[in-house]
Amino acid sequence: MRQLAWAMAVVLAGLSAIHVYWAAGGRRGLGVAVPEVDGAPLFRPGVPITLLVAALLSGAALLVLDRAGAALHLFPALMAEWGTWIVAVVFVARSIGDFRHMGFFKRQRQTGFARWDTRFYSPLALALGVGAAAVAISAG
């Protein structure tokens, strides 16, 4: 399970780094990072929110590593257990989506974001959610 936890941590850290890049003013990939309505972004996350997402992704990586016994016990055992379950639920929920603009069951499918979401974002979210659940179960 440690190998799965490490693989997940690398992916989560990479996603966190992308968010830090965007918060620092990077533009690459930003055009397909947010759902669109009539050609305009559905929302415009500012620097604080983008950095918060980066911090949460890093925290998720540490929780999964800790739960798998691959970290230096950064969290109390109960926090690592529940935190890993929360990571699992959040990512599975993200893959299901809001039934309009994101997730496997979205109605909006014609935008750049929607195409990336179908091919990459939602499958990755589901994989991370299932992986976190596997780590949470096996470490128990």
Q: Measured between alpha carbons, how far is 63 from 129 in angstroms, rounded to an integer?
A: 13
Residues of the chain with pLDDT under 70: 139-140
Gyration radius (Cα) of the chain, Å = 16
Question: Could you tell me if 64 and 79 are in contact, meaning their C-beta atoms sit under 8 angstroms apart?
Answer: no
- Give the distance, in angstroms, between the CA of residue 1 and the centroid of all CA atoms in the same chain: 19
Query: Could you say which DSSP state residue 37 is in?
Result: E
Strand duo 36-37 + 40-41: pairing: antiparallel
Cβ pair 114, 106 in contact under 8 A? yes
> Structure pTM?
0.93
Percent of the chain exceeding pLDDT 90 equals 89
pLDDT at 140: 56
- Indicate the Cα dihedral angle 98, 101, 107, 111, nearest 10°: -160
